A and B are shown apart, each in its own frame.
Chain A
């Protein structure tokens, strides 16, 4: 997954320079003055890189202990675009990645990338019940250009072939070169949840657990029982068992899903949001075109920020309150690191 130690090496270049010079020690014989300066640089370079690596090696396990409570998890990148054309979406996604440090930091050649959009319902993209297929296509294409293998799937509420088709996902996968698969009911694995609120174990889709990199791509919608459905609720599409049962104590279950299933990046689709009669109904009056993407590595933070689009304080959403109590992320927008960009 992501290497966070870069945060503690303020200047990555220094560590690198230190390493470079140490290997080229043959050149030290060439000029005496240069050698002395080089040695000082070598020493300071070594000290800085050693310090960085030391901190990094402590910080990474520390962060894993407390969940993603490091600074990066409080970062939310909000990109607003001009329109919903594929060109505009590509610019938005690229800007988002660049703001987070560049897509190469996340996606490397040969990685198995899983994109988990919302393909829950048998609806057209304009109805804002499912993730914008052009957005999924854009992200998939960018990952494939980096040399990764991309797989797209979801476990819909309605009949899967109808949902995959009408939502435009099959076409998006075909256009971008990604694989798109239907859920195979045999491939759910039982995961034990540490410190659960309600569920001791959970059946999780194998491909989610085996992926090298998971991109959660939800669409932000109003929801009758969950209040709002965004990144955290989107994980409902990769769990096994009878979906209906998870609606009892839904909010605690949503928190438990997020404890059980690691996600590497969230690209939340706020190009069109459904502000009422969600998650699968509504008239055009309920759809707001916001032309926005919200990106981040912490689903709790991303969701808490996105609640603002519905004129809601994050504290109104029970699963966000519970997640904050569990130290899973920051829900107070004033304490977040919000970076807004427009393309």
Chain B
């Protein structure tokens, strides 16, 4: 077998996984019957699984796939990072584009630099915060970041740009004979039917760019030094069965493999490996001209293992978490706890923080939402958007309904079906109409009938509840010219209003609607008699 077989296989697999990821992202949309099977990406993260379970104070079974991934690392090492993780794939691509191979600040003459253990500190930070009941893990988890970035930033950018180009080509004669059919095909396939644009997309894009721009320092900087999931997987990978084995007879210590290794996992003059860092990219295998490298199953009680551990401690590799670093992490976590927890913005005014239908009560919702963005992406009316600080710092990138940008379609329960952690309870279509997630109110000074004595009544027309949560009362009023006119005045029947926001969305008043949806006036009727 050629030396490059495995690395080529890996590259091809990465391409296929990326295509699968993109396909699932784009095609998990209306009119899909049940999107639940396709929400598995964030569920592969054991980091999310552990932190979410701690915060929710129960074992979340939706993260069972993550256990399988964790289990597999005991055999295959950290292959998930090298072959499957979409963020890893993206980083590999940007590394290649920006030729990051030339730079490697994470390795200085002989041993890997001390910054590498930071991923364990990030992991510790995340765990401590989750013990304190703060669910910040979704912000730094690579699978959440990947889905959120592609779903709320990259895909909408692609969609909007392509549409803009074809819209322009439509007006050019002759060219439009080719562009229009192409556009029709694209519209039915990869483009979104409805307009998609997410509030706060810039911040999510910025986060991704920051991570990718770390290429400036070294390849896979995030994976080596910051990724909390990588940290967890590296801990279990240390005991993996398939390991890199170097035939010392054949090896001439040319260090070609060490140069190729994108994770700086090769130590001890090319003969040793930090298994916890090795993502099985097989570039070393490809580059070794002396056929000295192979990947073989090694029994846990084997000599090789002992040797590895010897070399690790000698070279100062492995997770050298000095006591000082651990202490600093502890202290910064403790400082971070109040920073996250003190949520005055929510208590002060969360009138316009409307959660998606089926959302758990706010505290529990924040405990279970992993900020993956799947609900926002799947919403067929682009109604759900990431919050910035409206829900406090802990609520960053959790979903909220913004009626002016998109209303909640009746008969649609896609967001509740796709949520991988049941932060949005799965609703049945029949129940949707009685699930209250907001209440509308009319700003009479803006509303046409109320303030100008002119009939309008778009809100009543579009209200989808069975017996209309908005009623019209024909009233005699005096208009600004002193004339008495008959006006149909709208009133909201608050006990019937579910807060879907179609009234606000269709209200013709420019700037901001005259009928607004706010959070439900009364939190829970369950406890009332």
Q: Contact check, B463 vs A281: say whether CB atoms are below 8 A apart.
A: yes
Q: Say yes or no: is A122 at the interface (Cβ < 8 Å to chain B).
A: yes
Q: Say yes or no: is B311 at the interface (Cβ < 8 Å to chain A).
A: no
CB distance from B183 to the nearest CB of A (A): 10
- Please name all residues of chain A whose beta carbon is closer than 8 Å to the beta carbon of B464 when the two chains form the complex: 121-122, 280-281
* A121 CA to B30 CA, complexed, in Å: 16
- Please name all residues of chain B whose beta carbon is closer than 8 Å to the beta carbon of A162 when the two chains form the complex: 30-31, 380, 409, 411-412
* A186 CA to B170 CA, complexed, in Å: 9
* A277 CA to B458 CA, complexed, in Å: 14
- Please name all residues of chain B whose beta carbon is closer than 8 Å to the beta carbon of A279 when the two chains form the complex: 461
CB distance from B105 to the nearest CB of A (A): 50
- Please name all residues of chain B whose beta carbon is closer than 8 Å to the beta carbon of A182 when the two chains form the complex: 193
A159, A165, A166, A224: the one contacting B472 at CB < 8 Å is A224
- Please name all residues of chain A whose beta carbon is closer than 8 Å to the beta carbon of B468 when the two chains form the complex: 224, 277, 281
Chain B residues within 8 Å of chain A by Cβ, number: 33
CB distance from B98 to the nearest CB of A (A): 39
Q: Contact check, A157 vs B466: say whether CB atoms are below 8 A apart.
A: no
Q: Contact check, A282 vs B467: say whether CB atoms are below 8 A apart.
A: yes
* Interface residue SS majority, chain A: loop
* A158 CA to B463 CA, complexed, in Å: 11
Q: Contact check, B466 vs A283: say whether CB atoms are below 8 A apart.
A: yes
* A20 CA to B468 CA, complexed, in Å: 65
Q: Contact check, A159 vs B457: say whether CB atoms are below 8 A apart.
A: no
Interface string of B411-423 (1 = CB under 8 A from A): 1100000000000
Q: Say yes or no: is B269 at the interface (Cβ < 8 Å to chain A).
A: no
- Please name all residues of chain A whose beta carbon is closer than 8 Å to the beta carbon of B506 when the two chains form the complex: 157, 243-244
Of the candidates A223, A244, A245, A249, the one having the most CB atoms from chain B within 10 angstroms of its own CB is A244
Q: Say yes or no: is A242 at the interface (Cβ < 8 Å to chain B).
A: yes
Chain A residues within 8 Å of chain B by Cβ, number: 30
Q: Say yes or no: is B454 at the interface (Cβ < 8 Å to chain A).
A: yes
Q: Contact check, A224 vs B488: say whether CB atoms are below 8 A apart.
A: yes
Q: Contact check, B448 vs A225: say whether CB atoms are below 8 A apart.
A: no
**Cβ-closest chain A residue relative to B457:** A225
CB distance from A158 to the nearest CB of B (A): 6
- Please name all residues of chain A whose beta carbon is closer than 8 Å to the beta carbon of B466 when the two chains form the complex: 277, 281-283
- Please name all residues of chain B whose beta carbon is closer than 8 Å to the beta carbon of A186 when the two chains form the complex: 167, 170
Q: Which B435-471 residues have a C-beta within 8 angstroms of A?
A: 448, 454-458, 460-468
Q: Contact check, B409 vs A159: say whether CB atoms are below 8 A apart.
A: yes
CB distance from A220 to the nearest CB of B (A): 16
CB distance from A43 to the nearest CB of B (A): 56
- Please name all residues of chain B whose beta carbon is closer than 8 Å to the beta carbon of A243 when the two chains form the complex: 458, 506
Minimum-distance CB pairs A-B, first 9:
A244-B508, A225-B457, A224-B460, A244-B458, A247-B458, A281-B468, A245-B508, A247-B456, A277-B468
Could you tell me which A residues sit within 8 Å of B by CB distance? 121-123, 157-162, 165-166, 182, 186, 223-225, 242-245, 247-250, 277, 279-283
A–B complex contacts, Cβ < 8 Å, 18 sampled? A122-B409, A161-B380, A162-B380, A224-B460, A224-B468, A224-B488, A225-B455, A225-B457, A225-B472, A225-B488, A244-B506, A245-B508, A247-B461, A277-B467, A280-B462, A280-B463, A281-B465, A282-B467
Could you tell me which B residues sit within 8 Å of A by CB distance? 30-31, 167, 170, 193-194, 380-381, 409-412, 448, 454-458, 460-468, 472, 488, 502, 506-508
